[in-house]
Amino acid sequence: MGRDQCRLVLGIVAAEASKQMAMHAVKALTGISISKIASELEQGSGTELPDSYEKGFSEAGQTVAEKAVEKAADALIEERLALHQQSNNSVIRFRNRLAETLKAIETEKKIPTPLFVFVDELDRCRPLYAIKLLEEMKHLFEIDGVVFIVSTDSDQLSHSIKAVYGNEFDARKYLRKFFDRTYVFPSVNRKYFIDHIFASRGLELDQIFWNAPNRSPSMVINSWAEHFSLSQRDLIQCADIIITAHTSWSYGVKFEPIRFLAMVWAIFTGRLKCASAVENGINESECPEIAGWKISYTTLDRQSGGYTTASYIAKNLINSFNSFYKKPLLDAFNQHDDDNWRDFFNNEYSIIYQSKNVLMPDGQKSVAVYYKSMIVAADHSVTS
């Protein structure tokens, strides 16, 4: 093969290589199908190669690639502009039709505007979806007569936005361009909220839990909710577990609240070690969350006539309860070192056996041994 023939072959190879490189580069940068670009390149290679041959393979490749990409880029820009204009026209038509519809409803149906659109729990959506929804709301519905009310945790939504744009991004400033007015609801009184949850289901806490001196069910459950930082959503879901367990409980005996609620929290949060600890004995290394739970109460000081605040250590009460409930029930309620637990187990014996004239089997244990399995079953029925 002669020198001129070699130069011709190299020029063709270079042109084709440049063409392919250009095609891949444009595709990588735009992400759009390049069938039109390929067509332009094929036409370009047929007309440009002869002229490029005399200038060498590098110049040939450059000329073909530049002209082909230039043609393709022009076509791509024109197509994109046309699509953008078409999209804008569609948005304008949508807004006009919606405005006309609202006006007709107000005139003919005598239904006053604005139209309220409620969006709930936006912060629980995937970050990209939440951002897209906000953008579409702003883009499509920014017309007179339409008001969006978005219920969300602004802090959590800000975190979601930063997850997309980076920690340095001013998420709050970004959100302000969507919301004209922000209203923050005051915190709900936890005690009233808990009472409402159970009352709305026709129950009171005293119907479910054992009421011991200075450890009323209301006091215990409020202390429990505060110590474990349970949100309102958590409280509703935990209440569903408690109520489901209570409804399924066939013994007619009230639950001991401290141990029962500690088990509810452990199972609800998936802390299996803590659930086992509640059942067998709590120590700080295995379950520091429950080990740190203190139940405060106020008592009257008879000498001074004033009130003093004291507290129970939940861990100690749970471990004390555990030392009795696995014993035969007869031994549990005959104990004399803890009047509260003796009364609790004696009440169980009275309800299940004595009041029904049923003979208690030898070695029969307290039904408290079923707490864990009952709560697990209730948790599965609520969350499934």
Q: What is the pLDDT of residues 102-161, one digit of tens each?
A: 888 888 888 888 888 899 888 888 888 888 888 888 888 888 888 889 988 888 888 888
Which tokens go with 97? 């039709």
CA distance 100 to 93: 10
**pLDDT beyond 70 at 73:** no
- Say which amino acid occupies 312: Y
Beta bridge partners of 116: 147
Contact 328, 365 (CB under 8 A): yes
Q: Which two tokens stand for residue 229?
A: 């930082």
Instruction: Indicate yes or no: pTM above 0.75.
Output: no
Between CA 321 and CA 332, with CA 327 as vertex, the angle to 5 degrees is 65
CA atoms within 13 A of residue 68's CA, in its CB half-sphere: 34
- Of 90-104, 214-228, 256-270, give the lowest mean pLDDT range: 90-104
User: What's the rounded Cα separation, in Å, for the pair 175 and 156?
Assistant: 12
Residue pLDDT, tens place only, 87-97: 677 778 888 88
Q: In the predicted model, what is the mean pLDDT of the chain?
A: 81
Cα 110–Cα 115–Cα 118 angle in degrees, nearest 5: 145
**Residues of the chain above pLDDT 90, percent:** 34
Q: One-letter amino acid identity for 50?
A: P
Q: Interhelix angle for 154-165 vs 127-140, to 10°?
A: 100
- Confidence at 65, pLDDT banded by 50, 70, 90: low
Closest CA to 379 of 192, 234, 220, 191: 234
**More reliable by pLDDT, 167 or 228:** 228
End-to-end CA distance of the chain: 77
Residue 34: helix, strand or coil by DSSP?
A: coil
Separation CA 19–CA 342 (nearest Å): 91
What is residue 336's predicted lDDT score, i.e. its pLDDT?
Answer: 56
Q: Is the pLDDT of residue 276 over 90?
A: yes
Contact 333, 360 (CB under 8 A): no
**Helix 232-248 and helix 371-383, axial crossing angle in degrees, nearest 10:** 120
Angle between the N-to-C axes of helices 232-248 and 190-199, in degrees from 0 to 180, rounded to the nearest 10: 40
Question: Is the pLDDT assigned to residue 7 strictly greater than 60?
Answer: no
Q: Are 178 and 223 in contact (CB under 8 A)?
A: no
CA pair distance 45, 129, nearest whole angstrom:
44
Q: What pLDDT is recorded for position 297?
A: 83
50, two tokens: 């002869």
